[in-house]
Structure 1
Amino acid sequence: MSQPFLDAVRARRSIYAIGKESPLPVAQIEEIIKQAVLHAPSSFNSQAGRVVLLIGKEHDDLWELIRSTLREVQSPEHFENTNGRLTGFQKGYGTILFFEDQAALNQFKDKYASYKDDFDSFSLQSSGILQYIVWTALEKEGYGATLQHYYKDGVAEKIRARWNLPDSWKLISEVPFGKPTGEPYPKQFQPVEERFKSFH
């Protein structure tokens, strides 16, 4: 039955209040991510997803890098709100960075020219699936996490430089995670009848 899977789907939430405790050792977190990377589907089996795990000081350094970068480009009023969010993410145990390798995608754009203009969309769809698998698996193991998108204003370039990552790796998102220290916000649902149709 699919019920255990759907239970995990329902349990996955955006949890912003996280701490530096970890229900699992690093090796088990790595194994969860490796299995997701191996088995997440991708269009034309392009396998362009790339993932970086940052724990401890590396995790703290990431959010300091983002903080210092955004402080330079945002107004003081805007940065005050941003800084509060960044501090919350930094309180977590680790962060997972998700990338899509443009060099790998370009090979498929050349090979399947009639789909060339579609591969960027395909890539985001594949990355979304990979992110969702990792996020849901972590929450199943007792972590809280959120999906973040800090890649503009030079952030992505500085991250690639700091961790010596290939220029072809396009940053898609960050998932800060840790043991929950608070509850998720109440979730509002639009009527499913307005969002789903079945013909038979």
Structure 2
Amino acid sequence: MKEQLLDLAKKRRSIYALGRNINQSEDEIADLIKKNIKWAPTPFNNQTTRAVILFGANHEKLWDIVGKRLKSEVPTEEAYQKTLEKINAFKSAFGTVMYYTDMDVVHRFENDFALYADNFADWAEQAQGNAQFAVWTSLAENGIGANLQHYNPLIDDQVKKAFGIPDSWKLRAQMDFGSIEAPAGEKEFMNDEDRFKVLK
């Protein structure tokens, strides 16, 4: 069996020690991200996934927004300083992809295909997973590390205002990426017997 895709998938890990020692240009990275999202499968080819790709000052602005927003959620100043350390690690990366779902498209398909209406929101989430995995793996193939964060919905309003996000776009995740400054740890797996059934 050919396992080229599997080999690439094994490179896709959550890398938290990220830097800015990137050989590729911002345009090259943005183009790679866009192509991966375009080719990731979506139900009915409805193409619900949207992305905002941030570099430079805009990338830093996002994580400043996250840091400020979390201040009211953390119980003590000591805990907040630890939170800021984590946020600043994301800020130290080269860039960020904000993943969105266009809910106008979701609702249109709910109306147009009433028989499947209850499924389109779930299917849009599956499309998000497809797009995120494709981008993440493609970045890893090019020696770029990444991790996936979910500060939505806490930051939704501030981010929408800061970056001019359309009302119909629903924030689903934030993926910061950059040079790999330290590798991921060992990956542990549950027992196959508890996870899979092969029936012949």
**TM-score under structure 1 normalisation?**
0.94
Q: Distance in 1 between matches of 2:83 and 2:115?
A: 42
Q: Which moved more, 1:103-112 or 1:188-197?
A: 188-197
Per the TM alignment, residue 78 of structure 1 is displaced from its structure 2 partner at its CA by 4.1
Q: Distance in 2 between matches of 1:36 and 1:12?
A: 14
Amino acid at match of 2:30: E
**Matched residue, 1:92:** 93
User: What is the Cα-based RMSD across aligned positions, in Å?
Assistant: 1.3
Q: Distance in 1 between matches of 2:124 and 2:2?
A: 27
Q: Distance in 2 between matches of 1:173 and 1:144?
A: 16
**Matched residue, 1:105:** 106
Q: Distance in 2 between matches of 1:130 and 1:78?
A: 34
Write the mapping of 1:149-164 to structure 2, written as runs, cut at 5 A.
149-153=150-154, 155-164=155-164
**Matched residue, 1:71:** 71
**Matched residue, 1:32:** 32
1:23–1:143 CA contact under 8 A, matched in 2: no
Per the TM alignment, residue 139 of structure 1 is displaced from its structure 2 partner at its CA by 0.8
Q: Which moved more, 1:96-105 or 1:30-39?
A: 30-39
Q: Distance in 2 between matches of 1:196 and 1:156?
A: 37
Q: Does 1:172 pair with 2:172?
A: yes
Q: Distance in 2 between matches of 1:130 and 1:142?
A: 19
Per the TM alignment, residue 82 of structure 1 is displaced from its structure 2 partner at its CA by 2.1
| Aligned-pair identity (%) | 33
**Matched residue, 1:50:** 50
Post-superposition Cα deviations, 1:95-144, rounded to whole Å, max 9, x if no partner, equal 01100000111100100112222211111001011000001100110111
Q: 1:2 to 1:160 in 2, by over 3 A?
A: farther
**Matched residue, 2:14:** 14
Amino acid at match of 2:94: Y
Q: Which moved more, 1:18-27 or 1:125-134?
A: 18-27
Counterpart secondary structure, 1:147: strand
2:37–2:134 CA contact under 8 A, matched in 1: no
1:20–1:92 CA contact under 8 A, matched in 2: yes
**Matched residue, 1:144:** 145
2:8–2:141 CA contact under 8 A, matched in 1: yes
Structure 2, unpaired ranges of 5+ = none
Post-superposition Cα deviations, 1:35-90, rounded to whole Å, max 9, x if no partner, equal 11211111121101001110111111110011111112322254333222111101
Aligned residues: 199
1:23–1:142 CA contact under 8 A, matched in 2: no
Structure 1 ranges of 4+ moved more than 3 A: none
**Matched residue, 1:190:** 190
Q: Distance in 2 between matches of 1:81 and 1:116?
A: 43
1:49–1:99 CA contact under 8 A, matched in 2: yes
